[in-house]
Structure formats: structure tokens, C-alpha cells
Amino acid sequence: MKWARPGERARAARTAGAATAGVLVVTGALLTACSGSSSTPQATAASYLADWANRDWLAMRALVAGPPADFTAVNAAALTDLTVTHASYTAGQMHISGSSARETVTQRLRLAGIGTPITITSVLRLVDSSGHWLVNWSPASIAPELRPGDQLSLQVNWAPRAQILGAGGAPLTTQAPMVVVGVEGQLIKNAKSVSAALVSAGAPQQAVTSALDGAKTEPTWFEPVYTITWARYQQLKPTIYPIPGTVFQTIYERAPITPGLGYVVGSVAPITAQQLQQLGPPYNASTVVGQTGLEEAYQRQLAGQPGATITATTANGAPLGTVATVKPQPGTPVQTSIDPQVQRDVESALASVHKQAALIAVNAQTGQVLASDTVPGTSGFNLALDGAFPPGSSFKIVTSTALIEHGLTPSSAATCPSQIVVDGEVFHNSEGTAPISDLLNAFAESCNTAFIGLATHNLTAAEFPATAAQYRLGTTPELGLPAFGGSVPKPTDEADLAATTIGQGRVLMSPLAMAMVAAAVDTGKVRAPVLVSGAPDAKVTPASLPPAVVRYLHTMMAQVVATGTASGKGLPPGTYAKTGTAQYGSGNPLPQDAWLVGFNGDIAFAMVTVDGGEGGPTDGPIVAKFLDLVRQPAG
């Protein structure tokens, strides 16, 4: 097993103290005695504490009897080493005995990133020097445990990380042995070889690039790339372990309860140099933080506020005693709408898929995301929420909405020629070829030429983005994680309008966006997607679709399953659907993404298979398996 050097891996970052703000100095009833005179111990103590709060080391030094040479350095280090951002000093009762006096001082110190102030109680000693009272300073004035040459040390401690929860409060994480795959700059001989090896092993290219950049900046640091299971590490070890510069850490960390949840729940791992710069104190090089998904997005909420222990140590780091402690403030759980059983059903359905694909399921009555998965698990990108694909004929749900709002019905006349020419551009049919005579069967057979003919005669360019907006398409979801809400630009000419009609051209959708379209048709209510409780989209008021749109689309989507492009694919009774085939890129033939969107009961779904061919044959059996699983009685 290859490891980063412990001392280098756990090196703490020292952060300079921030400027003091809002200083409060209280010296009891004798504060008004401070008028520049040093003839009383009370006046000298008040001036000294005020200067201390302002970090005016020269003024403090002027009030000290025989200050040592390192007076300024010791006092400054005591605050900067502790990352003090705010300090107040409250004086207690003055005790005078002849030519000496002492006063208890309560120090309240706010440390960067520590929620609760630290309290240190020390004693300020004074001496009458030829009629002038001066501070008889020693390091014990800062903390009783300090002697000359000693220093204060800060240790940050965290409460156990709060949970990410699913429906009914079910935990979505568990403890598991994991391996953090990373790099160490000083060990790298060939950065290109390291990059190629890690990417071929499934590491996201962006994460590899970021880690290699960090390794250049801090060549002795362990820069994590991604976290994998112990079993996956054993598979990859022969290919990535021998590469100079790759470094591995075995950790027992929490992981999602199912592999597919990794895209939503995310992962935790040692902090990167970039994150350390962004998060700042009290985070240090040994802190474990969220790296992806909700673990990263809700890092501060899940981690809470750390506690701290201040100790006195010798110059070589030997502990002398505890000066002060504050307990950490635990984080609060992140509540999601994920249903663990539905998640397992989604993952089981996708287990046999060997191409890049995504499937998402939402509760049509609430808009809550119940489950999502992206395969393969090493793709590094959440295709279900944030993917952007041409939706192909699945977009005909939106086009049909516009046609229905212009007075068309399922029985409206339509024809399906083998091709149609618009502004010199030729459009063909991709899926359906059966003879049709009306909109109902044009939808069921997914006839491109029929829809283009109807749209070019009944719709204007402006109506496409307007109709899409009725479904909240084009609105960026705010559900707790990055997500793509679709894009339907206004067509620029008739050919672009024709392409938009059938979900091609510049139209892009995510599975999440199309699942929310299906949910709206199911219930007649357009809702924002909901994933994390308290996220902005959880507060959006639903809007209503016209009743005729809902009624007619139910009829049309049922026909797709009964006799159309999704018939004979095993979809269970009560399923309403629309297939889609979207061409893109270049080649002969052109690659085609396969779509299937729809609903069954309260479950709305959307699936896309990248370069998967036609939507019905490719996605139909997978979605059928999912719906069969999710409809099984509990237990």
C-alpha cells in the first residue's frame, strides 16, 4: 500500500489573525479613571487592556516595567496563532498590597470559524515603580500556564458529521471502507501518464486536472482525486498503483447506502488545497470535507461549528496543560425526498444497461425527486439532474400542448408523409411509419412529418418558448444540487421551427426536466422539483395546465403504450408514455439518444440512453422493470 507521508499529509495551515473589530474593554467602575495618568494601578490596567484589545503592542510595551525583547512577538503570536478575530478584556476587582497589585482579567476571544467564544482567565500584575504604576508582565499575563519560551496551540475538533436523510428520516449513508485515490506532486515523474491512468480508471477528468494543479502548488501535499470502494480499488490496483505520483489513503468513511446515490449524496475526503483556501479557518490540511453531491453543497450545515482546545506547549511542542476548551456545535441533518426503496428499484432496473444512461423518478403529486441514477457509476457527472440532451420526440408533449391550446384535438386531421421539406431542409420520420389520419395516431407513432406540418401551419416561433415556460422549462432548478431545467430558444426561421417541433435543433433537456413535464401532465399541476427540504424550489406555488391539455395528453400518451412506439415493451397497465429518438453529432448513420418519459400512478419518470437508438425498444424494457419493481407490495 502506498501512502502519503503522515507529517506532510496532516500538515496544519497556520492562518494569520484577522484585524480586530468591535473591541469591548470593561474595567468596572474605575474605567473613567483612565485619563492618561499612570499614577494609579487602576488607570494603568485600564490603559493596558484597551491597548491589548486594539493590538497596540507599542502602547502596551510602554506600560510594562522592563519589557523583554520578545514582548511584542509573544503577544502578537498568542492572537495570530489562535486566529483571533475579535477580543474583549474584562477586568475584575483590583487587589493592592503595598507597591504591588493584581487584577483578574477575563478574556473573551472569538476565533475564526469557531462559533462559541473562548474564555481565558488570567491575572494582570502591577508594580509601583518610582511613583508610577506599571504592568509586571510575564507570559502568564496571557495564560497562567505559560512560561518564558512557551506558546499557545490551537486544536480544532468537530462533532460527528450530521446525516443526510431520505424519506421518513431514513439515513442515506453508512460507514464503509473506502480508498481515496490522489496524487503527490513531488513523486510525479510524468503528469500526462498519471492523468491518463486515473482517467482510464474512472476518475473524472476535471478532478484529475484540479488535483494535478494543486500538486504543482503544494508538491508535498496529498491531493485527493476521487474516492472508491475497497473492492473497486483492488480491481484497479494493478494499473494505477505502479504509476509514480499516485498515492492512496484507506479510510473508514461514510458512503451512500447504494452506489447510485453517490451522484446525489456525494462523498467526503480530505480537503484539497483549493477547498482549504475557499473555506478558510478553522479548516486545515487534515480536515475531511464533502467533495461531491450534497456532502459538498451542504458542507457547513452537515459539519456544524467546530470546537477548540487551547493548550500551552513548550517551544518544541511538548504539552504543558489545557488553557481553555469549547465544545463543537453539531451540524444539522439535510433532509431529502429520496425514497431508499425506490432508489434501489431504479438501480436494479439500470443494472443491465451497458451504455451511458440515466433514469429519474419523481412523485407527480408533490414534485419530490424519489430516486435517480446515472450509469456507469464512474461517469463523474449527474446526467439525471444536470445532463443536457436533445429530447427528440419526447418533446412532442410540449408541442402538442401548444397545438391543443390552438384548438386542435386528438381527432384533428394529420398526415404522415415519408419526408417534409421546410426552407430547403429535409426532415424524415425516425420511429413511426404506420399510416395515420389524426393527431392522436401521429403522437402515438411519433410521426415527425405530421408534427412539423401541423406546427408550421398553426404555431409561431414565439409560442415554443412560451409553451415551454408553462412547464417551467428554461427555469434553473434550485433544489439543492446543480440541475438543468431545459432550454427552448425561440426558433430563428422556419427550418429551426420545424426542428424545434420535434425536439431537435437547439432544444435541450435533462431527464429531471422531462420527468417534471410528465408529472405536470399526470396531475395537471406544474410544480418545481423538490429534493432538499428548505431549498428555494420547495416553496414554489404550483401552476395549473389547461384541463383540455391534460385530458387530451392523457389520451395520447395512453395510445403510445397501447398501439404506438412504446407498445409491446412490457410497460405495466396504467402507464402513460412518450418515446423519443434524438439525432446529434456527425456520422452515417448519426448517433441517436433514446428517450422514454411518462407516468404510472403517482410516479413520473424519464430515461435517456446515450447513443441508444430508438426510445421504445431501448428504454421501454428498462422502465418496465422499474415500474414492476416499484409497484410490488412492500415487504
168 torsion bin: left (phi>0), alpha (psi -120 to 50), beta (else): left
Does the pLDDT of residue 630 top 50, yes or no? yes
Does the pLDDT of residue 543 top 70, yes or no? yes
Residue-level pLDDT at 24: 41
Q: How far apart are the first and last CA of the chain?
A: 43
The C-alpha atoms of residue 472 and residue 474 are separated, in whole angstroms, by 6
- CATH 3.90.1310 boundaries in the chain: 164-303
In CATH, the architecture of 164-303 is Alpha-Beta Complex (3.90)
The C-alpha atoms of residue 59 and residue 40 are separated, in whole angstroms, by 17
Segment of 21-30, 249-258, 345-354 carrying the highest mean pLDDT = 345-354
* H-helix segments, 218-328: 230-240, 262-265, 273-279, 293-297, 299-303
Provide the 10 A C-beta neighbour count for residue 7: 8
Lowest mean pLDDT among 252-266, 405-419, 508-522: 252-266
The C-alpha atoms of residue 238 and residue 318 are separated, in whole angstroms, by 43
Does the pLDDT of residue 623 top 70, yes or no? yes
Q: What is the pLDDT of residues 335-372, one digit of tens each?
A: 999 999 999 999 999 999 999 999 999 999 999 999 99
Residue-level pLDDT at 302: 96
% of the chain at pLDDT higher than 90? 79
Q: What is the pLDDT of residues 272-288, one digit of tens each?
A: 888 988 888 888 888 88
Does the pLDDT of residue 7 top 90, yes or no? no
Residue-level pLDDT at 548: 98
Does the pLDDT of residue 501 top 90, yes or no? yes
Mean pLDDT across 6-32? 35
Lowest mean pLDDT among 174-178, 247-251, 399-403: 174-178
Q: What is the pLDDT of residues 596-610, one digit of tens each?
A: 999 999 999 999 999
- CATH 3.10.450.50 boundaries in the chain: 24-155
Element holding 618 (H helix, E strand): helix 615-630
CATH code 3.40.710.10 for 340-630: yes
CATH code 3.10.450.50 for 24-155: yes
Query: Is residue 565 within 8 Å of residue 484, measured between CB atoms?
Result: no
Mean pLDDT across 530-535? 97
Residue-level pLDDT at 21: 35
Written as one letter, the residue type at 255 is: A
Query: Is residue 591 within 8 Å of residue 583, measured between CB atoms?
Result: yes
The C-alpha atoms of residue 25 and residue 192 are separated, in whole angstroms, by 58
Predicted TM-score (pTM) of this structure: 0.78
- In sequence order, the 6+-apart residues with CB closer than 8 A to the CB of 292 are 262, 266, 267
Query: Is residue 387 within 8 Å of residue 459, measured between CB atoms?
Result: no
Query: Is residue 466 within 8 Å of residue 488, measured between CB atoms?
Result: no
SS percent in the chain: helix, strand, coil, step 5: 35, 25, 40
Residue-level pLDDT at 486: 98
Does the pLDDT of residue 328 top 60, yes or no? yes
Residue-level pLDDT at 29: 33
Mean pLDDT across 305-334? 93
Residue-level pLDDT at 25: 42
Does the pLDDT of residue 303 top 70, yes or no? yes
Mean pLDDT across 489-504? 97
Q: What is the pLDDT of residues 95-110, one digit of tens each?
A: 999 999 999 999 999 9
Name the nearest CA neighbour of 270 among 556, 607, 6: 6
Mean pLDDT across 207-219? 92
Residue-level pLDDT at 32: 33
Does the pLDDT of residue 575 top 80, yes or no? yes
Mean pLDDT across 193-203? 93
Q: What is the pLDDT of residues 438-448, one digit of tens each?
A: 999 999 999 99
The Cβ-side half-sphere exposure at 334, using a 13 Å CA radius, reads 27
The Cβ-side half-sphere exposure at 91, using a 13 Å CA radius, reads 26
Q: What is the pLDDT of residues 447-493, one digit of tens each?
A: 999 999 999 999 999 999 999 999 999 999 999 999 999 999 999 99
Does the pLDDT of residue 20 top 80, yes or no? no
Residue-level pLDDT at 635: 56
Query: Is residue 130 within 8 Å of residue 122, measured between CB atoms?
Result: no
